[in-house]
A and B are shown apart, each in its own frame.
Chain A
Amino acid sequence: MIDASARTFIDEILADPDVAPRIAHVESAPARDADWAPLPDGLDPRLLEALKAKGYERLYSHQRASYDAIRAGENVVVVTPTASGKTLCYNLPVVQTLLEEPEARALYLFPTKALSQDQQAELNEVALGGSLPVGIYTYDGDTPSSLRVAARDSGRIVITNPDMLHSGVLPNHAKWIRFFAGLRYVVVDEAHAYRGVFGSHVANVIRRLKRVAAFYGAHPRFVLCSATIGNPEELASALVEEPVRALSENGAPRGERRVVFYNPPLLDPVQGIRKSTATESEKLALLLLRRGVKTILFARSRLKVELIASYISKALENLYTGNGGVRVSPYRSGLLPSERRAIEKGLREGSIQGVVSTNALELGIDIGGLDAAVVAGFPGSFASFWQQAGRAGRRGSVSVAFLVASSSPLDQFILAHPEYFFGRSPESARIDPDNPYIFADHAKCAAFELPFKEGESLGKAGPEATAEVLSMLEEEGLVRLTGGRWYWSAAGYPSEAISLRSATADNVVIVDRTGGGARVIGEMDRPSAKELIFDDAVYIHLGRQYKVRKLDLANKTCFVEEKEVDYWTDSIVKTDLEVLTEDEEGLLAAQGGRGPLASWVLGDVLVRTEAEKYKKLRFHTHENVGYGEISLPPEEMQTRSLVLLLPPGSAGGDLVAACPEGGKAALLAGAARLIHDLAPVFLMCDGRDLGLAERVRDPHFGVPAIYFYDRYPGGTGLAEGLAELLGPAIRAARERLASCGCEEGCPSCVGVDFGEAAGPQAARGGRAVKASVLELLSALSEAAPGDGQEP
């Protein structure tokens, strides 16, 4: 917890001569008092007693509002930041109902196991405190079989996660007959986590859940909790396919919070090269940690987490002072669950003072009170940033969050426009429950659970689409239509092979063979494995370096051995595209009825990726010290894409046509890169969720084309989202470029390699490329090229 002396440390750091010149902006949000409401009337006396025993004499306004709406029978989504007492928003009305109706049951869904163990502890406190007759059980992969039986039979509140619901509970629903028959509430916590791939899967699991509940005569109400996103009501109703009321007024008190924008110094203003984000973030973290400020540093990738954590630990190394009493740990998925639990515990208990993490720690896992957050590079969405920043000052005391910009166009844009950052509403979360692959997978599971009647619809997908997918499944020999019903007719257990979280269920297990042993140290999905842990790659885990001896895809195993080297490996991925369908099209229209600026097409594409080579990059300097070959089979997938077309006759197309032949590739590449980098500002995705490819002469459309495709098979709504937001994305791209102070292009705008076609000319022609890209983007956003340019 920060006291006045900690606050002074923050002021000290901000005044530090190494830090102060880099500060682009400081925003302070003052402390805020609580908004109170009385406890509701008519509470069961046992519940009342339990509340009073825990010190609850009254409620925050949003907790009361939530109670009233839920008891009135509405579906509700409670929208609040972390640490605002959201648990009571659903616990109170649920437990009250359970006390009134002895047969009533409730299901609590959390995205991960760790969260649900956390919540169980909190719930048990409330329930046991008043010795309430409400049996609460966690039901997940770790639950021993004796407790599983108890949970099914006597659990009034069952806590689980979507994966367990999908593969453990729903396919065995006949064992849960009493539970489903009495199911009154389904609580979906951290609902903002259910976006993209995962969200599309979970929406389908909820469709199956409602279907099974209806079989037993139950129609539960849904209570969702979400962090602040742009469209909580829309996301919630898309997840549960029913109307949901959003409650977004937050009555909880809040401590003072400062957000500091920090821009690493320019090393070469002409070339636009800045000091590395990682190095600067480490510096800030060390300044904080050395002053005893408990700090979390968020990095963009698992690799960076490992690198930064080891740099910081090395910097703190001091045999005499025992590293100054500071312990810093990396944290990311891919660590074993036991390793992650140990780190969470260390943070809570204070034996670990600093943690370097990916966004894995964004979700509400309780890690106790951290005082400062350093966010190394914009995490791709505002919602993510606020979740990460919100890790500091959890207990409502003074906190500080640093955003350390990278040189990417997006980060530089944000730093230059704090009003945009603080003024805008956060992104919207998107899902696509009708992604045909996802839908077909869940139709299989649903058929296993209950036979489909002819004409039945799975959720709101519609009877025609449902029938279509069922006859596809019949062709596969998985279901049989007879007597007016579709029956599951295969020996397998479909949900086993379907993972809710990755494109394929083929995870590769990483095994450490050092010294002749065989220890599992992590796992990774197959497509990522091909790009990250190919033969001879450097793999970093919990700060230790390993070299990959063999990636055995057939057996889904990767063998590594500990080895210290002074470089890391970065693969070069080649991408091919084939257009499969054109489903929708549109124009980027000019104001005032002049001809179109460009056109676009939305459809399915086939993407083929292959990692052929890799670079060896020295630690710290990132200089290239060699190449290596990768010989792995390519991956192929079908997905959704938005194609931006620049045909002759459109303003954009004419500009490209007028460009000299040798410069067309660079022009397209530069424009594409900028639009792609800024798109996440508008969609709620990570830059890596969106793939990019440009073609000067596209083989299918015959004109210059830029493809933006969803990197998840079948798509998760990103391409559709971009179709709606293309105009604003192009305008933001143009603005970033116009205000960039470099002379010949830099990583913060058009980049420095202008595609393969550009060749060695590129460096000399950078100025020309920058100018032509600016011209193109200006034409596409109907601005004059001179607008907003730095003098």
Chain B
Amino acid sequence: MAKNLKGRLARLRELGLVKAAELEAPGAGEKGAFSGGAAEGEAAAQGGAPVGEGGSTSPSARRRPGAGARGARAGGGERPGVPSFLAGWTQAAELVWERELRFPSHLPPLIDPRPFAAMSRKAARGSLDAAKPGVRSAAKPGARAADGAAPLGAGGRPEAATRGAGLAGGADGLLPSESLRFFDLETTGLSGGSGTVAFLAAVGRIEAGEFAVRQLFLADYPGERAWLEALLSLLSEGSVVTTYNGRAFDLPLLRTRLVMNGMRPPSFAEIDALFVARRLWRRVHGGASLSLLERLVLDLERELDVPGSAIPDIWFSYLREGDHPLMAAAMAHNAEDVSGLERLAARAARIFEEPRAWAASGAVDRAGLGRGLLALGRADEGEELLEAALGEGDAAAGLLLSRRYRREGRLEDRRRVVGMLPEGLESCVERAKFHEHALKDFRAALAWTDRAISWAREGGGTEAFEALEARRARLLRKLERGG
């Protein structure tokens, strides 16, 4: 059968036939042959090829050979000279280019890394998807865990973010900001699978009072190994790699690229600023993407920015054509991402230095900041902020405090907080618990339980209902016994 396959494939090409297609689908018009840059999204996501999934084609529009053939079909990818966007770059190795840009820096000389990892298990629950507390990821081969460094791309718990030798810092737990390496990749896709390649990296560091961003550009696939080696040397040197969503994306992807090139992934300490950013700003701004927070928190507008989703096709198109008018902008986007990250990190650090002032300004999520402070062991500040949030109707903040005070045996504090809880199912349950266990006032507890039951009726789900019925039954028994 294999002997026929080549012939059958050749015939498929000649006739340009699709596998199974709808003819003249109503209203869909004609989807033309896949064309590189323009086919972003739909066709690109499907792999674009009419061989495989058909678009609608009428017989006369079946693709003919040559339709869709690109200029650089010859192997080796010879291109006419150096592309325009590489002006100002120097060649670092075969197919690897680099440059350095300077930005103003915003971080102070010393930084407290703990807020960036500032999430206890409890605080993390319910607020984030990225790293699920309790997930244990075993050490990956090649990762050295002896010094406690979090292995590259481990995907472990948030507080693992800043474990590591590199974070030993001074006695006061502070790190020199020069040891941070801010890092971001541009890739050919979002999937993180083995076919996704990183072709542009930016690594930023504080140097002599400025923020120096070094970028590495991969000019074609065969240069990847050298590109990776250059990137690794920028990232290590006893540094702390700092990313935005890098734990879920950039670092695992880097790890995959290293594996694909037969290189051992090193381990170094890493911080993912996404977690603290979500905590501080998500509820206030309705999201925590870097571009959103740059605009709303840092007040930065980028001129003529290329959207991230367009970048993969820019690189592919450049590979085929030899140049691309938007690549320079994409490269700028990458560098600016890293610079923005540094600024955002600096802002977060300042917020934790003066939390009360920032909370009062209304620019941060008071309850989120409060939780972060609690996780850092800064109990007074944290509680103050959470109580302020509760005062403005934040039920979750109130519940958290109530439970905290219960654990710590602070009856009066708990009483105050419970009294401030806004109406709602969980509040009623908490009040019921308080009255039952702390005050032993079963009658009041029963009343709150009944209130909770009527809340549950309006849509709490059967589990809540069953638990409440059980509580009610228990209280009735206690009342019977105690009188």
Contact = CB atoms under 8 A, between A and B. Distances in A.
Interface of A: 145-146, 149-150, 153-154, 171-175, 177-178, 432-434, 436-437, 439-441, 444, 447-451, 454, 460-462, 464-465, 468-469, 472-478, 480-485, 487-494, 496-498, 503-506, 526-527, 553-554, 580-581, 583, 604, 606, 608, 633-638, 713-714, 720
Interface stretch (B114-122, B287-295, B312-320, B471-479): B312-320
Contact of A481 (B18, B75, B136, B194): B75
Nearest to B70: A477
Interface in B124-140: 132, 134-138, 140
Contacts of B169: none
Contacts of A464: 6
Contact of A465 (B5, B18, B21, B197): B5
A504 B19 contact: yes
A145 B22 contact: no
21 contacts: A178-B140, A440-B12, A448-B195, A464-B6, A465-B6, A465-B9, A476-B50, A478-B48, A482-B77, A488-B195, A490-B188, A491-B45, A491-B313, A504-B53, A554-B28, A580-B11, A580-B15, A581-B11, A606-B17, A633-B24, A713-B19
A638 B50 CA distance: 13
Contacts, number: 233
A164 to B, nearest CB: 14
B23 A490 contact: no
A719 B35 CA distance: 36
Nearest to B15: A580
B252 interface: yes
Interface stretch (B82-90, B253-261, B277-285, B428-436): B253-261
B23 A635 contact: yes
Nearest to A608: B23
Contacts of B11: 580-581, 604
Contact of A171 (B9, B24, B193): B193
Contacts of B21: 635-637
Contact of B2 (A465, A474, A504, A604): A465
A492 B9 contact: no
A482 B137 contact: no
Contacts of B45: 491-493, 496-497
A498 B23 contact: no
A633 B17 contact: no
Given A483-B76, A491-B313, A633-B26, A174 B48 contact: no
Given A477-B35, A477-B320, 15 more contacts: A150-B136, A174-B259, A175-B252, A178-B141, A434-B8, A437-B51, A440-B49, A465-B6, A478-B49, A480-B77, A483-B75, A485-B221, A485-B222, A489-B316, A493-B45
Given A178-B141, A492-B46, A580-B11, A480 B221 contact: yes
Nearest to B35: A477
Interface in B338-394: none
Interface string B24-60: 1111100000111000100011111111111000000
A491 B139 CA distance: 30
B104 interface: no
A204 B50 CA distance: 20
B192 interface: yes
Interface of B: 1-13, 15, 17-28, 34-36, 40, 44-54, 65, 68-70, 73, 75-77, 132, 134-138, 140-141, 155, 188-189, 191-195, 197, 220-222, 252, 255-256, 259-260, 312-313, 316, 319-320
Contacts of B8: 434, 436, 604
Contacts of B7: 583
B10 A146 contact: no
Nearest to B137: A149
A171 B46 contact: no
Contact of B5 (A436, A450, A553, A633): A436
B75 A482 contact: yes
B49 A473 contact: yes
Majority DSSP secondary structure for residues of B touching A: loop
A231 to B, nearest CB: 15
Given A436-B9, A474-B73, A175 B256 contact: yes
A491 B7 CA distance: 30
A490 B44 contact: yes
Contacts of A554: 25-28
Contacts of A436: 5, 8-9, 12
A496 B256 CA distance: 20
Contacts of A474: 73
Contact of A553 (B4, B25, B155): B25
Contacts of A174: 194, 255-256, 259-260
Contacts of A449: 193-195
B20 A636 contact: yes
B137 to A, nearest CB: 5
Contacts of B316: 477, 480, 489-491
A238 B6 CA distance: 19
A557 B221 CA distance: 41
A447 B17 CA distance: 22
Contact of A491 (B4, B75, B188): B188
A558 B31 CA distance: 24
A636 B312 CA distance: 34
A1 to B, nearest CB: 37
Contacts of A606: 17
A441 B19 CA distance: 11
Most buried by A among B13, B132, B138, B221: B221
Contact of B25 (A434, A503, A604, A633): A633
The 5 closest A-B pairs by CB, nearest first: A448-B195, A483-B222, A174-B256, A476-B49, A171-B193
A503 B194 contact: no
Most buried by A among B8, B21, B197, B259: B8
B192 A172 contact: yes
B189 A491 contact: yes
Most buried by A among B20, B69, B189: B20
A418 to B, nearest CB: 36
Given A178-B141, A472-B12, A477-B68, A172 B20 contact: no
Contact of B19 (A175, A462, A553, A714): A714
Contacts of A496: 45
B4 A477 contact: no
A171 B52 CA distance: 18
Nearest to A472: B13
Nearest to A482: B77
A440 B44 contact: no
A553 to B, nearest CB: 7
Most buried by A among B76, B195, B320: B195
B189 A492 contact: yes
A498 B1 CA distance: 23
Given A476-B51, A554-B25, A638 B69 contact: no
B77 A493 contact: no
Given A175-B252, A434-B1, A490-B48, A482 B20 contact: no
A604 B65 CA distance: 19
B211 to A, nearest CB: 30
Nearest to A148: B135
Contact of B194 (A154, A172, A490): A172
Nearest to B139: A153
Given A477-B320, A580-B15, A469 B193 contact: no
Given A477-B316, A490-B44, A149 B135 contact: yes
Most buried by A among B19, B73, B197: B19
Given A494-B47, A505-B53, A472 B192 contact: no
B19 A154 contact: no
Contacts of B312: 491
B76 A482 contact: yes
A145 B76 CA distance: 41
A130 B2 CA distance: 48
B364 to A, nearest CB: 30
B138 A432 contact: no
Contacts of B27: 554
